[in-house]
Structures are given as C-alpha cells and as structure tokens.
Structure 1
Amino acid sequence: MDNGLLFNLEALSKWMNLSSKKEVVQNLHKLGIPFVELSNGEVVTLYSALERGFQKNAMEEAEELIRMDEVIKLTKACRASINNYVSQGSFPPKIQLGPRKVAWRKAEVLQWVEGKRDW
C-alpha cells in the first residue's frame, strides 16, 4: 500500500479481511469514502488523487455515466426524441460502452437540460 492513499483492490481486500473486490467497494461506500477505481485496478481516494497529481485521470474516470432510462427521466423526453437529438448533433454525444450498450455523461445531460449548452 502506498502511503494509505493508493491501493490495489486485491491488497485492500486482504487488508480489510474481505473475500472479494465487490465487498471492498461496498465497504468504501458504507464508510462514505469517495474513491475512484481506475482501469488498472487501483483504487484512489479523490483526496489522494488531488494531492498526487492524478486529478485529470481520476476525475475523468469518476465522471458519472448514465444510461438511457436516466437520460429520459432527466430530460423528460422520450427515447425516440433523444435519439433524434443525438443524430442531429443537438444533444450530448453518447459513449459506446459495448456493442449494444451506450451511456451519457450526467454532467453534460444536466447542462443540456438547463439550456446552458447546445451541441
């Protein structure tokens, strides 16, 4: 463990005496510790990310992504309208997560809802 701030999920599960990475994440949530799980398997608290210069990467990974159902709730628009807005370029771009799985950055959708930005 690196100064108590940057952890590998496997090391954390051993240290916390838990059997799975999922339990580690659940316990961090229960404790109210803000953290980011990086794509390389490391867990960084947001505080340590700021202190250690990981700010840009950690914050990008920490961006909350939302799926279509949440976009519909936030925008009060139907699925077809959202798809039309995206194809017209007047809505935040979707992020392809898989062959049939897309998401949007919640912050961008909220900006669109508030009319602060048009795409």
Structure 2
Amino acid sequence: MISAEHDRFLRLKEVIHVTGMGRNTIYTRIREGKFPKQVKIGPKSVAWFQSDISAWMNALRSDG
C-alpha cells in the first residue's frame, strides 16, 4: 500500500499506461462506479491518486 507521504498524482496518459485500458473505457467505468474518480488539481487539470489506482488493481487481483 502506498503511504500518504509517498502518494502521487497520475495523469491520464500514465493511468492508461499502468492499467492498459483506453481513455473511453476509463471514463465509462468511472460513470459506472467501477473505477476510481479523478480529482481536480487545477482549473483545467485532473489526475488520479496513485494509491487509488493501486487499490483498484489489487481489488481486481483478489476477486480473480
């Protein structure tokens, strides 16, 4: 698990790379409540917490 001191923001390009999913799939799953929501980091910028993405991936591993 990633501690709060070591957590960082991931931009969409990195989330796509880490998860292997496409942009449309990510936003569809957010709408369905099946993927972590992004956080607003600026007036026109969003990102995801690395810890949220890691937790989501670990949950998939434990379901399978």
Match of 2:16 in 1: 72
How many residue pairs get aligned? The number is 59
Gaps of 5+ in 1: 1-58
Partner SS, residue 31 of structure 2: helix
Q: Greater shift after overlay, 82-91 or 106-115?
A: 106-115
Runs of 4+ that moved beyond 2 A: 59-62
Q: 1:72 touches 1:78 (CA, 8 Å); kept in 2? A: yes
State TM-score, norm by structure 1. Answer: 0.43
Cα RMSD after superposing both structures:
2.0
Higher relative contact order (CA 8 A, sep 6+): 2
Which of 22, 37, 55 is residue 111 of structure 1 equivalent to? Answer: 55
Aligned pairs for 1:1-119 (under 5 A) are: 60=4, 62-114=6-58, 115=60
Distance in 1, matches of 2:23 and 2:57, equals 15
Match of 1:72, SS state, is: helix
Larger radius of gyration: 1
**How far apart are residue 116 of structure 1 and its match?**
5.3
Q: Which moved more, 1:60-69 or 1:73-82?
A: 60-69
TM-score under structure 2 length normalisation: 0.75
How many percent identity over aligned positions? 29
Tell me which amino acid in the other structure corresponds to 2:11. Answer: R
